[in-house]
Structure 1
Amino acid sequence: MTRFDIPAPDAAAHAAALERLDALVKPVGALGRLEELAAWLCAASGQVPPPPIERPRVVVFAGDHGVSRLSAYPREVTAAMVRVFLAGKSGVNVLAREVGAGVRVLDIAVDDDLSDVPAEVRAWKVRRGSGSIEAEDALEPGEAARAFEAGRRVADAEVDDGADLLIPGDMGIGNTAVAAALVAAALGVPAEEVVGTGTGVDEAGRARKVAVVRAAVERAGERVSDPFELLTALGSACAAATAGFLVQGAVRGVPVVLDGVFSAAAAVVAAEIAPEAVRWWLAGHRSTEPSQAVALKALGLTPIVDLGLRLGEGSGAVQAIPTLRAARAIIADMGLLADLG
């Protein structure tokens, strides 16, 4: 397996940040999680105070899944939503504009030729759709590695273009079932503990999802001990691309803010591929899907905001940007106790 040269966050900057935070015009620790995040940003940037977050970027990885029949929405919604992203009308488009974040959508595995969308969107395609994981592998041999490398390349492209914070987004009907299967298999958790209602299925629909996820994990067997085999058997090209994006963000020393259940599941797999990458990730928000909570606990990450969101697309992580900017502001702009008259 490839070894990745991932820098360590700056421990000296982190220590200096904690010292400064304790010296600000407030009781020690009075700003709670904002202080923790401020110190984290200092360590990531290697300076106190950290630079402003000026060019956050969301990359939405779009693709279809063979288990889409379990969703409350038809598979065709994925391709339609790619066009909505391009028109700037999706939920994440609207929310990202409010915080000055750019949004890019990529066709990784949409089950449509999307011939009417720009070639730069279609150029990243690994395959159309994926296998129905309870009965067959999601991907063909080698496709997980190809998708992973695609995710790394797009992270490089965004950082080279000036991105100072990366957010992985997702679009694909059926993706919560795939995420649940990845988390269940990677962490050895029973299907019933990680399967949620996804797009809004009823209890009968959730029971069907539990059965599918359980069957998929049983079918994959011992292959789940290898992260690329896990992605091949139970994941998707989008999950593999997201994992590559997360790892390469860390390689480049750029903070990555995870979104909801899908990026958290990809992060669990990415952490198996490159364990040091976790130090560059934050959890943007708490999803209503139970598998996200299981994944974040395993990763040691605590969500920044909790708004009851379950849209995906990167929309929840975008909501963390104002909080991160507030964390930076306190360490950059607050006065010191020593300066009081």
Structure 2
Amino acid sequence: MENIVSIKNQELEITLQKKIDLKTKPLGSLGDLEHLAFKIGCIQNTETPKISNPTIVVFAGDHGIAKKGEVNPFPQEVTAQMVYNFINGGAAINVLTKTNGINLKVVDAGVNHNFENNLNIINSKTVFGTKNYQDEPAMTLQQCQDAMEKSGNIISQIHSEDCNTIGFGEMGISNTSSASLLMAYFMNKPIAECVGSGTGLNSEGINKKSSILSEVFKKHKPQNSKEALATFGGFEIAMLCGAILKAAELKMVIVIDGFIVSSALLAAQAINKNVLDYCIFAHNSNEQGHTKILDFLNSKPLLSLGLRLGEGTGAALAIPLLKASVDFLNNMASFESARVSGEIEK
């Protein structure tokens, strides 16, 4: 899962840039769409990239700390209730994937609920949610490794169905707390700079959340990336990390959503830096920590719409831009083919 190669190919880069520059337009006039086409071409190692069967995978899992209700305004039961909403087609991610012709897969990564076998959900539960990291690590190292391997297998299956572009979403009450802890660990930031409102905390709630998570952070001393993921993560975040690594190994275009998915990416890139070569950042979340993660990863998102919903909604909105970028690269006329005069040499 960690055999990820760099996309660096100087000869291809020169060819792609020349192809972009010779389209019937002023140089650079399609802005970020040009950068996007260039990157997708590099990821796919071709002058004629394509977006095939784009898919968003939503991983859902529960968190032990949510049972106390100290860091989350919604009860833990909402995770399972929202999974049913996904299955029934009623959530924002259902609407946006349908609007934009994107496949949607929902994964039970560790929800504290028994789902019936006949539901349209991938059952990949390790256990019924994490432990409370106020008392002990969220999961064992073996459980974390198992979750990462399971998600890798899911991605391999999706890839085998002629999918080369994948986005990720999540659902899990209190998972912004896990994301904040992981951000603090991987970016060496104080917890107060990582904590936001999550599903709607007011300023008093944010301060309380920050205080609680600061104590959690002091309690544990993870020695490496996977241990940090096991200590602070949710099963959905561990599966996100494994899924991102496997998708990069398979040379897929990876569309990164918001704060939670980006926290999983922090763990993935600490395991293998080359994973970033395959990532396109969908949007800048309204969760305060997300902008700092994007800055840390030196990454520019495609959209800034004030979203902070999760579910992969930002990824679903960004994928049409990926389609547009490869379409202009493949289908727009060049100055030569259109017999249009190019820029006058000075």
TM-score normalised by L of structure 2: 0.92
* Unmatched runs of 5 consecutive residues or more in structure 2: 342-346
User: Shift of the alpha carbon at 1:231?
Assistant: 1.1
Match of 1:246 among 221, 244, 251: 244
Q: CA–CA distance in 2 between the matches of 1:50 and 1:182? A: 34
User: Shift of the alpha carbon at 1:10?
Assistant: 4.5
Q: CA–CA distance in 2 between the matches of 1:159 and 1:334? A: 28
CA contact (8 A) 2:48 2:326 kept: yes
Match of 2:259 among 258, 261, 268: 261
Identity level (%): 28
Q: CA–CA distance in 2 between the matches of 1:155 and 1:46? A: 20
Partner residue, 1:180 = 180
Code of the aligned partner of 1:133: Y
User: Shift of the alpha carbon at 1:120?
Assistant: 5.6
Code of the aligned partner of 1:135: D
CA contact (8 A) 1:10 1:44 kept: no
* Unmatched runs of 5 consecutive residues or more in structure 1: none
User: Shift of the alpha carbon at 1:9?
Assistant: 5.3
Cα distance, 1:127–1:6 mapped onto 2, change above 3 Å: farther
Matches within 5 A, 1:112-191: 112-115=113-116, 118=119, 121-122=122-123, 124-191=124-191
C-alpha deviations, 1:96-151, integer Å up to 9, x for none?
A: 011111111111110112236538632x1011111222332111241111111111
Cα distance, 1:155–1:7 mapped onto 2, change above 3 Å: farther
Q: CA–CA distance in 2 between the matches of 1:279 and 1:121? A: 28
Q: CA–CA distance in 1 between the matches of 2:274 and 2:141? A: 26
Partner residue, 2:344 = none
Code of the aligned partner of 1:66: G
Partner residue, 2:42 = 43
Code of the aligned partner of 2:241: A
TM-score normalised by L of structure 1: 0.94
Q: CA–CA distance in 1 between the matches of 2:219 and 2:111? A: 25
C-alpha deviations, 1:66-98, integer Å up to 9, x for none?
A: 232222211111111111111122110110011
Partner residue, 1:194 = 194
Code of the aligned partner of 2:94: N
Partner residue, 2:13 = 14
Matches within 5 A, 1:1-341: 3-6=2-5, 8=7, 10-51=9-50, 53-68=51-66, 69=69, 70-115=71-116, 118=119, 121-122=122-123, 124-221=124-221, 223=222, 225-338=223-336, 339-340=339-340
Code of the aligned partner of 2:283: H
Q: CA–CA distance in 1 between the matches of 2:332 and 2:177? A: 45
CA contact (8 A) 1:131 1:137 kept: yes
CA contact (8 A) 2:182 2:228 kept: yes
CA contact (8 A) 1:11 1:43 kept: no
Code of the aligned partner of 1:295: I
CA contact (8 A) 2:4 2:272 kept: no
Q: CA–CA distance in 2 between the matches of 1:266 and 1:80? A: 23
Equivalent residue of 2:220, what SS? helix
Q: CA–CA distance in 2 between the matches of 1:16 and 1:47? A: 10
CA contact (8 A) 1:10 1:45 kept: no
Q: CA–CA distance in 2 between the matches of 1:203 and 1:135? A: 26
CA contact (8 A) 1:144 1:236 kept: no
Q: CA–CA distance in 1 between the matches of 2:303 and 2:149? A: 31
CA contact (8 A) 2:4 2:248 kept: no
User: Shift of the alpha carbon at 1:189?
Assistant: 0.5
CA contact (8 A) 1:14 1:40 kept: no
Q: CA–CA distance in 2 between the matches of 1:300 and 1:8? A: 17
Equivalent residue of 2:282, what SS? strand
Pairs aligned (count): 336
Q: CA–CA distance in 2 between the matches of 1:232 and 1:250? A: 21
Q: CA–CA distance in 2 between the matches of 1:15 and 1:96? A: 34
Equivalent residue of 1:25, what SS? coil
Q: CA–CA distance in 2 between the matches of 1:141 and 1:20? A: 48
Q: CA–CA distance in 2 between the matches of 1:57 and 1:131? A: 31
CA contact (8 A) 2:282 2:301 kept: yes
Q: CA–CA distance in 1 between the matches of 2:10 and 2:317? A: 27
Code of the aligned partner of 1:8: I
